[in-house]
């Protein structure tokens, strides 16, 4: 059976973009692949976090995974910082990665531009991500398109390491679904919907109340035209709504276009809002039950036990190949 892995950062409540781009994909794939899903808490501290908030968000993200339909029997679920080998292996990989490669990453360029006082962790972030992926010899990495460049770097690092030290890693591939690869901000549809957005009106969070969701979608930015057509360059707002509709209804973009031929923008918005609210209220009611459950710790304990054994073997293999032994 082919293997997949992905992770999400526990920085605040996840967005509709995270859900469509990553979690919904994992739910779909869990019956087809051997699945690994983790909480990328080490990645989240590349930007300052409030420690109390962070620890709450870690548990909350796990409950959200399950509420969204992730089955703990079909996924190895764990917290990245509890598996000590991820950061150790990251160091071995860092010493085989060039500064030039890291400084060219789009996400690094964007984030470091916003805050001149960035940490070195922000620069080396993609190497830790390569470590997360390469440890488990995965075939595919389901991510939104914003993470594609990082997965490609993981491939480059793996190929280089294999060449230098002999066969050590499987070469992974990004797995990006056509619908919903990038959900955009509702206020500024030229930007991706992001947890760190300055304007909360543009971002739907998985735990937003139904009225809040409806309000955000009904006031989403569109254009002065009247035709409902998928054209991300000239009609980014409408295209984003079509994309959300397609992803949640499991329809193709052109099917959605046909459904809304001769309809008004207001009708599209109303139907998108109905769809999002139906999907998210189901998740929310499961979440509020799960967050109190004792089952969460057991899932994490099982996950860390299983994944630590695999990661330890990979670490020993790498150390031996690199001459780090007595
Ligand atoms: P993160 O936490 O920023 O995002 C988690 C996942 O959500 C996807 N995503 C989106 N998809 C569609 N539209 C959007 N607006 C949107 N916003 C976010 C992201 O593409 C991602 O798949 N570095 C990663 C976490 C990570 C990881 C890994 C992922 C760490 N190690 C190893 C895969 C494999 C991150 O920060 O994702």
Give mean pLDDT, residues 249-262.
95
Arithmetic mean of pLDDT over the chain: 96
* pLDDT of res. 177: 80
| DSSP 3-state of 263 | coil
Which of ligand 1's atoms lies nearest the C-alpha of 144? 20
| DSSP 3-state of 14 | coil
Residues 262 and 277 sit within 8 Å (Cβ to Cβ)? no
At residue 115 the predicted structure's pLDDT band, cuts being 50, 70 and 90, is confident
80-108 pLDDT, tens digit each: 999 999 999 999 999 999 999 999 999 99
| Gap from CA of 151 to ligand 1 centroid (Å) | 11
Give mean pLDDT, residues 94-123.
95
| Gap from CA of 147 to ligand 1 centroid (Å) | 6
- Name every residue whose Cβ is closer than 8 Å to that of residue 321 and which is 6 or more positions away in sequence: 165, 166, 168
Rounded to 5 degrees, what angle do the CA atoms 182, 188, 190 make? 50
Task: Record the pTM.
Answer: 0.96
| Gap from CA of 283 to ligand 1 centroid (Å) | 20
Q: Would you say the CB of residue 153 lies under 6 angstroms from ligand 1? A: no
Q: Would you say the CB of residue 7 lies under 6 angstroms from ligand 1? A: yes
Q: Which of 5, 21, 61, 196 to mutate to test the pocket of ligand 1 (most atoms within 8 A of CB)?
A: 21
Nearest to 132 by CA among 95, 62, 182, 79: 79
Q: Which long-range contacts (CB under 8 A, 24 or more apart) does 80-83 make?
A: 80/7, 80/38, 80/39, 80/40, 80/41, 80/42, 80/43, 80/132, 81/41, 81/42, 82/300, 82/304, 83/38, 83/304, 83/307, 83/308, 83/311
* pLDDT of res. 116: 84
Element (H, E) at 87: helix 85-94
Catalytic residues: 111, 192, 195
DSSP string, 107-144: HHHHHHHH-TT--HHHHHHHHHHHHHHHTTT-SEEE--
At residue 180 the predicted structure's pLDDT band, cuts being 50, 70 and 90, is low
Q: Would you say the CB of residue 8 lies under 6 angstroms from ligand 1? A: yes
Q: Please name the residue whose Cα sits nearest to atom 19 of ligand 1.
A: 144
| Gap from CA of 226 to ligand 1 centroid (Å) | 33
Nearest to 39 by CA among 17, 21, 56, 20: 56
Q: In the block, which residue shows the tokens 């051997």?
A: 34
> From the centroid of its chain, how far is CA 40?
9
Q: Would you say the CB of residue 141 lies under 6 angstroms from ligand 1? A: yes
DSSP string, 177-228: -STTS-PBPSSSTTSB--TT-S-GGG--BTT--HHHHHHHHHT----S----
């Amino acid at each position: 059976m082919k293997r997949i892995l992905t992770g999400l950062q526990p920085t605040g409540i996840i967005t509709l973009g995270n859900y469509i781009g990553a979690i919904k994909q994992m739910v779909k794939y869990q019956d087809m692949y051997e699945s690994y899903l983790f909480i990328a808490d080490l990645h989240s501290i590349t930007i300052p976090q409030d420690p109390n908030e962070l620890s709450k968000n870690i548990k909350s993200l796990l409950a959200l995974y399950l509420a969204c339909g992730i089955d703990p029997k079909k996924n190895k679920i764990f917290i990245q910082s509890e598996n000590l080998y991820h950061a150790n292996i990251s160091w071995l990989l860092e010493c085989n990665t060039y500064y030039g490669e890291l400084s060219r990453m789009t996400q690094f360029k964007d984030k470091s531009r916003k805050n001149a006082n960035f940490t070195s962790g922000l620069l080396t972030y993609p190497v830790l991500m390569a470590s997360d992926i390469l440890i488990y010899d995965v075939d595919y990495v389901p991510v939104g398109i914003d993470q594609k460049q990082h997965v490609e770097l993981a491939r480059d690092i793996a190929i280089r390491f294999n060449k230098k030290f002999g066969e050590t890693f499987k070469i992974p591939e990004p797995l990006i679904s056509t619908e919903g690869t990038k959900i955009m901000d509702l206020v500024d549809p030229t930007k991706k919907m992001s947890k760190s957005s300055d304007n909360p009106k543009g971002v739907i969070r998985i735990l937003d109340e139904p009225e809040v969701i409806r309000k955000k979608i009904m006031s989403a930015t569109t254009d002065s035209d009247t035709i409902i057509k998928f054209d991300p360059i000239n009609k980014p707002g409408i295209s984003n709504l079509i994309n959300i509709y397609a992803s949640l209804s499991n329809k193709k973009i052109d099917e959605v276009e046909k459904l809304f031929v001769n309809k008004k923008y207001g009708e599209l918005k109303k139907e998108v809002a109905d769809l999002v609210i139906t999907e998210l209220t189901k998740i929310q009611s499961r979440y509020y039950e799960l967050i109190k459950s004792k089952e969460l710790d057991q899932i994490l304990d099982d996950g860390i036990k299983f994944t630590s054994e695999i990661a330890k073997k990979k670490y020993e293999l790498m150390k031996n190949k690199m001459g780090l032994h007595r």
